[in-house]
């Protein structure tokens, strides 16, 4: 059996996607799942995501934008801190900062993100709200590789969620929760398959072996 791939997971908040990955590794074992989480990084202190990592006995690091003179300096610091753990894959599990050139130069083609809409529709920070405003009948989530655009990287997998009439009554809160449930399962599945099977990126197409 191939050696488990090394994952660094980046978080900004509650860390529910991180927890889903932690649970998958714990229940299946790193070798069977194909990956192990070796560190968790964040752009903020005092968040639940870091607490989850610490409870799991994982090393953590924090790189706050405001601690650096320029965004480029922060990006280089984040890249250095991440690279210190020699990851095979980096996973954005609700990491709410856009990385820059240095980070992508080191981890491009290995940096996985999720988005709460069916890309290329409704990119950006308000994917759920924008899908509702447009009157979409289905939406969902996308797992993709990060490139230098906003939610424009090659798509790895997508999950579909139906829009219900009542979703307009709470401004999409219930819809977002249903999307998150699908997103967690999809992320766990995709990261495991990427790690176990390997993959290649052909233009915009991601082929998992």
Q: Could you state, in order of their start, the residue ranges of all structural domains in the chain?
A: 1-107, 114-209
| Mean pLDDT confidence for 5-18 | 97
pLDDT tens-place string over residues 83-129: 999 999 999 999 999 999 999 999 999 999 999 999 999 999 999 99
3-state secondary structure of 191: helix
Q: Grade residue 132 by pLDDT with cuts at 50, 70 and 90.
A: very high
pLDDT tens-place string over residues 145-199: 999 999 999 999 999 999 999 999 998 999 999 999 999 999 999 999 999 999 9
Domain 114-209 has CATH 3.10.20.30: no
Q: What is the model's pLDDT at position 103?
A: 98
On the question of a cis peptide bond just before residue 112, with omega within 30 degrees of 0, the verdict is no
* Fold: same for 1-107 and 114-209: yes
Residues 6+ apart with CB under 8 A from 73: none
Q: Grade residue 1 by pLDDT with cuts at 50, 70 and 90.
A: low
Helices (H), the chain: 16-28, 30-33, 48-55, 71-83, 101-107, 127-134, 173-197
Rounded to two decimals, the pTM is: 0.96
Percent of the chain with pLDDT over 70: 100
Active site residues: 115
What CATH fold (topology level) applies to the domain 1-107?
Rossmann fold (3.40.50)
Q: Which helix H or strand E contains 200, and what residues bound it?
A: strand 199-202
Percent of the chain with pLDDT over 90: 98
Q: Which residue has the tokens 């280089």?
A: 76
Q: Grade residue 2 by pLDDT with cuts at 50, 70 and 90.
A: confident
């Amino acid at each position: 059996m191939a050696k488990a791939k090394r994952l660094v997971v980046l978080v900004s908040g509650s860390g529910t996607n991180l927890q889903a990955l932690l649970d998958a590794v714990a229940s299946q074992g790193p070798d069977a799942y194909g990956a192990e989480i070796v560190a968790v990084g964040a752009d903020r202190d005092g968040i639940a995501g870091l607490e989850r990592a610490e409870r799991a006995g994982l090393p953590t690091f924090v790189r706050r934008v405001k601690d650096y003179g320029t965004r480029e300096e922060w990006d280089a610091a984040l890249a250095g801190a991440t690279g210190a753990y020699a990851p095979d894959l980096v996973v954005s599990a609700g990491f709410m900062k856009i990385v820059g050139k240095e980070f992508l130069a080191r981890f491009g083609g290995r940096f996985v993100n999720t988005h709460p809409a069916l890309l290329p529709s409704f990119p950006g920070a308000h994917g759920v709200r924008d899908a509702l405003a447009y009157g979409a009948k289905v939406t969902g989530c996308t797992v993709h590789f990060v490139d230098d655009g906003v939610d424009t990287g090659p798509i790895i997998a997508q999950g579909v969620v139906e829009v219900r009439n009542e979703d307009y009554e709470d401004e999409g809160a219930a819809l977002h929760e249903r999307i998150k449930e699908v997103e967690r399962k999809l992320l766990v599945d995709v990261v495991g398959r990427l790690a176990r099977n390997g993959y290649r990126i052909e233009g915009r197409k991601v082929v998992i072996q």
